[in-house]
Amino acid sequence: MSTNTLEKPPILEESPPSRAGGSRRWWVLAVLSLAQLMIVLDATIVNIALPAAQHSLGFGDDNRQWIVTAYALAFGSLLLLGGKLTDFFGVRNTFLVGLVGFAGMSALGGAATGFGMLVTARAGQGLFGALLAPAALSLLATTFVNPAERAKAFGIFGAIAGGGGGLGLLLGGMLTDWASWRWTLFVNLFIAAIALVGVLTLVAHQKATSRPKLDLPGTVAITLGLSAIVFGFSRAETSGWSAGVTIGSLIVGVLLVAGFGLWQQRSRNPLLPLRILLDRTRGAAFLVMLLAAVGIFGVFLFLTYYMQVSLGYSPVKTGLAFMPMIGAIIVTSTVGSTVVLPRTGPRPLMMIGMLAAGAGMALLTRIDLGSAYTSTILPALVVIGAGMGFVFGAAMQSAVVGVDPHDSGVASAAINVMQQVGGSVGTALLSTISASAVTSYLQSHHSADAAAHAAIAGYHTAFWVAAGIFFAGSLIAALLTRGGRLPAPVEETVAIAH
């Protein structure tokens, strides 16, 4: 390992933080929550609109997955670089660039005249989202330093991170049914405009007087590595696990990520300092968030298809059906972060939360072709939502509390990487497992309604696998997370404008 001394982090010149303006902090939280909502919405809002967009622009079934994958690919692979740029240029500046760029790409996508234009816009959203997401979480971490306020703020932020996907399904259905699929993208212009005014008004300007060099080899390695992994899992859904492009992409991706880890030990200016990962509680939070994202996509993806195809729900009714889960996430994320976390630390919350989510997934295996929403689907969604609320609030706070101020951006990016890559992997993994179960069922059943029952068998298999993933996450939380409370937060480094 190299013994070279790390260069000093950037020194920020700014006005003294406002200690009296407590109400302004909550307005800052509202602005950051809007930005986070926009990012999470776009992971799901386009999904429901995809059939309408495909019909409007006339692209084939073999291309439609890239409307979703392009966003995840750019977002997940560039997040660490986005976190480093947050530390490099300052959180406020990076947030503004990400916000304006995301809005611009949304406008481009909404005005798309063909497949190429739409997929380019989705990739652009992912690129600017990779700047916006770590900047938002970093601003949150450095704005709230009072333990009680911090707990409440992270509870609200975690609820939005966990529930925004379900809200995206509802909003996507409403906009597609009542207006046009293009408004699932245009809606971001209104959200971004409000957030832009809020940041310009509430957060003071920062000026960096010295900047470290960027880790270009590390940036290239991790960006290409994560891209290859996400691409490989995406190809597995359509080409199969044994396809050369799937295996080759995954192998290349794993080798590049491993090479990135080795390089970080030698780099003078590491993109992801290993001290961030090697903290037990922070490392456990990263792993739990990764597994939570893998599992939760089983709810959104398969229940959406089940309710629309098997039960005949409309897009709007499907979105409304997810609302109790969103409510449960909001309640438990807020209560867990404000009442439980300050007393017990994150370990019980993450452990119990993942157990509850696994139990909820197991409950979903009771669905059949004629299941009633209130007796079968609703209880499972509430249990899953309650568990996820505990997990998201505790994991996000564990990921950023206690890091040095100049590491806050990259730590924020790392937890977002876990969520985004986990979601991408979960989509491909569970889809492939479900498809295999459907094929197996059809080979042994030849009745008139075999196809409908085969779909149910595929959902059951995916839900059981997702339950196992949640249970594994609970075990990781129990074994790796340190007991006791989180360390005291660092001093506030982002000024609130007067």
- At residue 4, the pLDDT reads 38
pLDDT at 340: 82
Instruction: Return the pLDDT at 62.
Output: 62
**Looking at residue 11, what is its pLDDT?**
37
To the nearest whole number, what is the mean pLDDT of the chain? 81
Q: What is the mean pLDDT of residues 238-249?
A: 85
Q: 159-204 pLDDT, tens per residue? A: 776 667 677 777 888 888 888 889 989 999 999 999 999 888 887 7
pLDDT tier at 288, thresholds 50, 70, 90: very high
Q: What pLDDT score does 85 carry?
A: 81
Residue 3 has pLDDT above 80, yes or no: no
Measured between alpha carbons, how far is 76 from 421 in angstroms, rounded to an integer? 6
How many Å apart are CA 390 and CA 182, to the nearest integer?
Answer: 35
Spatial CB neighbours of 23, under 8 Å, sequence gap ≥ 6: none
Identity of the highest mean pLDDT range in 2-11, 322-331, 350-359:
350-359
Q: How far apart are CA 112 and CA 181, in angstroms?
A: 11
Query: What confidence score (pLDDT) does residue 124 get?
Result: 94
Class of domain 17-214+271-480: mainly alpha
Name, in order, each residue with C-beta under 8 angstroms of 218's C-beta and a sequence gap of 6 or more: 260, 263, 264, 267, 270, 271, 272
- d(Cα 134, Cα 143) in Å, to the nearest integer? 14
pLDDT for residue 73? 77
pLDDT tens string 64-76: 767 877 887 788 7
Per cent of the chain over pLDDT 70 is 87
Give the separation between CA 26 and CA 198, rounded to whole angstroms. Answer: 11
**Alpha carbons 361 and 379: distance in angstroms, whole number:** 10
pLDDT tens sequence across 327-373: 898 888 888 878 888 888 888 999 999 999 999 999 999 999 889 99
What are the tens digits of pLDDT across the range 374-409? 999 999 999 999 999 899 888 887 877 777 766 666
**What is the b/e burial string over 440-455, where b = at least 16 CB atoms within 10 angstroms of the residue's CB?**
ebeeeeeeeeeeebbb
Percent of the chain clearing pLDDT 90 (strictly above): 26
Structure pTM?
0.77
Query: What pLDDT is recorded for position 142?
Result: 76
